[in-house]
Structure 1
Amino acid sequence: MKRIQRNIFINYIYTGIKCMDMTSSIWVLYLAYRGMNLAEIGLLEGIFHLTSMLFEIPTGAIADLLGRKKTIVLSRISALIATLLMISANGFWGFAISFIFSAASFNLSSGSEEALVYDSLKQLGKEEQYVKVNGRLNFIIEVTQGIGAFLGALLAERSYLLSYSIAIIFTIAALLLALGFEEALIYEKEEKVSFRVHFKLTMQLIKANMELAFLLVYYPIILAISAIIYFYGQQYFAEQGVSKVGIAIIFLLNSVLAGGGALASNYLVKKLRHHTTTIVALLIAVCMVGFYWSEQWFSIVLFCFIGGLTAVLQPISSEAMNKLIPSKQRATLISVQSMAFSIMMILFFPLSGVIGDLVGLKVTFVLLGLVLVICVGIGYKISKYFLSYKGDKMYVRI
């Protein structure tokens, strides 16, 4: 039992080291430095999300077959290969293979880590502590991601290779920690189904609940557009003459406001009720359009506010969708939600890169803001339909 108890403590350290990603705030700049234009960068990110979407179900089967620990170990090996390829690749297809391995590492770890923690607590008879443990993990993730982004950009001022080399060291450290996990004896194996059966069950669930279908399109659009601003923000500020150290500070401030936004989410829902998402999404759109007229310093303010506002929406979207289905179908929802976001990124990210090459990122951000305004307007109209027959029982925070 002591070895199972150690899983919780090891996972705190493992999560902190894994999320200390030195490349998160510089990978767009690095690819541009290596000769990729914005369209190619967008296509690479599209390949990442296409791979993630295709690997969603197979990686779940791997976790069931091999166990949580081995799957986590495989995720770190895949992440290590991805980083090595980013350093050694000499062209688009080399980077594409790196992004495929990166997506695979994300899929392999995304469910296995949470499952290992829950299974460990369950074996110890302490599963009621999962929410508290998970809250600590989310805090560790936010803090270490912000620090990693800051230090990575700081190191890149001296050398991109230095940032990626240290990222490799952290990945190896996380791999070694993962080897210290003990497989829990109790874990509920999910029913293995083919992609065809999974897709059929998913479609039946969505058809039976139009509110859920609406959420699976609406929130991923908002979050995908915001993610595009975040990633292309690296190149935007570089084109504005901001140094890598300056970009590091900007992304650190973005993380601070994101943490504040996540904490404020519950308070805003109590105050704004069903209008929360509409108001927050419109504020995000206003910030995007504001890039066109803003000076450099004000662009930084707008960028950080977008990060904070987006963080407000993430727990709201999760709560809204989780309340719409029974517990036994929750895994399916998570899978569909992840796939929906990937589809939006596949559609929007490469297109934004092409537009950015043609007319510049400032205009691209404005156009994305206008698209978001249209989507919010349509979403508000649809939400009024749900409110007309569900009233206060409606879970959509529109």
Structure 2
Amino acid sequence: MNYKRNLRKNINLNYLFIFLNRLDLTQGVWMIYLASRGLSLAKLGLLEGIFHITSFLMEVPTGAVADIYGRKASRTLGRVFCIISNILLIFSTNFYLFALSFAILAISYNLESGAGEALLYDSLKELGEEKHYMKINGFNEMILEISCIFALMLGGFLAHKNYLWPFALSAVFAGIALFESTFFQEPSLGKNKSLDSLHPLKVFKNQTLNSFKIVKSTKKISLLIIFAEVMSVFGTSLFYYLQNYWKGNGLNEFKIGTIFAISSLINAFIAPNVHKIEKLFKERALLIFLPITTCICIWCIAFTNYSYVFFIAIEILQTIMYIVTSNYLNKLILSENRATILSFQSMVFSFFMIFLFPLIGKIGDLFTLNTAFKFLGIASGIFAILNVFIICSKDN
């Protein structure tokens, strides 16, 4: 009885953890901060590339950690790495220390990426309530966006005074999240008991290979993962490079943070209602509509003076995309492979970011960021066309 009650508590504990975890005051200012330390756009892109190379290499191993040793342990360890990264970034004096900080931060994201979602879904599954996952995940996203509002506004305000404050406070919030993570109840569904008697190295090998086989043999999982992560790459690239673009156009850190906060506020209202949007449009229509609309918005960023409006529109599309694809994927994945496969999904994101993000920075250095956005518009257009072709071919 206590075990089931604790599983149910995971839902509210997860709301609090997401709020604390997303209180990253650096997210809207780190590129501006590092640019102020003398880094070019190409070097900023390289740092993000280092982040994603590390993430690419560590995603599946950290997902295996969550499936084998527990999602709770993985989340807690992730907060430890986050604290170390923020402290290191405060005291870094050269590019190599910045790079080390970004690599450590990537591992903190890896440890959380599959574990949190898997812990929540399997808690609901063990309670027999997984049908409510999309709705609950919508509320998770709402909490995340509310946290973003505080983080972006406060981070932009503090950075305008002193760049070190956002990094220091982010480390403090990560410490509070670390403490709160110890109260989660580990679902029994999530642990791969068949691997208990094996040597640790064989455990990781078997867990990883089995998860890859599932992804490879289930075409729908592969297509959903690629779809979701390519979409995320477009949105993430714009989020970071628009910071310097707007700064160059005369906006200060607080105003940039305000734009991001408005985006989060709108998403906070959208997220709890995504399950209604999904019921109205269904899977096929959404998977066709989201990339096409994203492409149109990217071109509008490049060719109009209302880049902030179309950025907010893209963020809304990203929210819808994340919630619906998360639900579709979790329905297809076995519990004992859930965190590993969801981490594989993040690895695909890192793979595309490794190549695209530094390339955008290089184009921005050689030409202008506006030119880089036009390149992103071309890339998103090609993806949207290919996506329609794949979906229509699959349906025939």
Aligned to 1:286: 296
Whether the 8 Å contact between 1:15 and 1:141 is mirrored in structure 2 is yes
Deviation at 1:250, TM superposition (A): 0.3
1:149 aligns to 2:152 (yes or no): yes
Q: 1:112 to 1:218 in 2, by over 3 A?
A: closer
Q: Which amino acid aligns with 2:286?
A: T
Match of 1:98 among 97, 101, 110: 101
Please show how residues 354-373 of structure 1 align to structure 2 within 5 Å.
354-373=362-381
Q: 1:34 aligns with which of 23, 32, 37?
A: 37
Alpha-carbon distance in 1 for matches of 2:218, 2:66? 30
Q: How far apart are the structure 2 equivalents of 1:120 and 1:314?
A: 20
C-alpha spacing 1:247/1:148, structure 2 compared with 1 (3 Å):
same
Amino acid at match of 1:156: A
Secondary structure, counterpart of 1:291 in structure 2 = helix
In 1: Cα distance, 2:61 partner to 2:311 partner: 36
Checking the alignment, whether the CA contact within 8 Å between 1:268 and 1:276 is kept in structure 2 is no
Structure-1 residue corresponding to 2:62 = 59
CA separation of 1:373/1:111 partners in 2, compared to 1, >3 Å: closer, same or farther? closer
Q: Determine the C-alpha separation between the residues in 2 that align with 1:247 and 1:117.
A: 33
Change (3 A) 1:268 1:110: closer
Task: Tell me which residue corresponds to 1:110.
Answer: 113
> Equivalent residue of 1:237, what SS?
helix
Residue deviations 1:34-68 (CA, integer Å, cap 9, x gap): 11111111111121122122222332454467655
Report the more deviating stretch, 326-335 or 84-93.
326-335
Partner of 1:346: 354
Q: Any residues of structure 2 matched to 1:197-208 within 5 Å, and which?
A: 197=206, 200-208=209-217
Per the alignment, residue 375 of structure 1 pairs with 383
**Residue of structure 1 equivalent to 2:254:** 245
Contact 1:261–1:309 (8 Å) recurs in 2: no
Partner SS for 2:39: coil
Number of residue pairs matched by the alignment: 383
- The separation in 1 between residues aligned to 2:64 and 2:310, in whole angstroms, is 42
Q: Work out the CA distance in 2 between the residues paired with 1:150 and 1:301.
A: 18
How far does the alpha carbon of each residue in 1:335-387 deviate from its partner, in whole angstroms, 9 at most, with x for none? 32221111111121111111111111111112111111111112211221111
User: What is the alpha-carbon distance in structure 2 between the residues aligned to residue 196 and residue 207 of structure 1?
Assistant: 16
Distance in 1, matches of 2:267 and 2:92, equals 33
* Cα drift, residue 317 of structure 1: 2.5
Are 1:257 and 1:305, in contact at CA under 8 Å, matched by a contact in 2? Answer: no
Q: For the Cα contact (< 8 Å) 2:88–2:97, is it kept in 1?
A: yes
Paired residues of 1:4 and 1:120 also in contact (CA < 8 A): no
Query: Compared with structure 1, are the counterparts of its residues 110 and 283 closer, same or farther at alpha carbon in structure 2 (3 Å cutoff)?
Result: closer
Deviation at 1:244, TM superposition (A): 1.3
The code of the aligned residue for 2:109 comes to F
Aligned with 2:80 (options 61, 77, 80): 77
Q: Which amino acid aligns with 1:75?
A: G
**Other-structure match for 2:315:** 307
Deviation, 1:146, is 2.4
> 5+ unaligned residues in a row in structure 1: which ranges?
389-398
Q: TM-score, normalised by structure 2?
A: 0.84
Partners in 1 of 2:181 and 2:275 — Cα distance?
A: 34
**Partners in 1 of 2:313 and 2:92 — Cα distance?**
35
Between stretches 128-137 and 212-221, larger displacement belongs to: 128-137
Change (3 A) 1:238 1:138: same
**CA deviation string 1:183-239 (max 9, x = no partner):** 659564225556655564455434434444333333322221121011111111111
- TM-score (norm: length of structure 1): 0.84
The answer to whether the 8 Å contact 1:48/1:100 transfers is yes
Measured in 2, the distance between the counterparts of 1:14 and 1:268 equals 26
Identity of aligned residues (%): 33
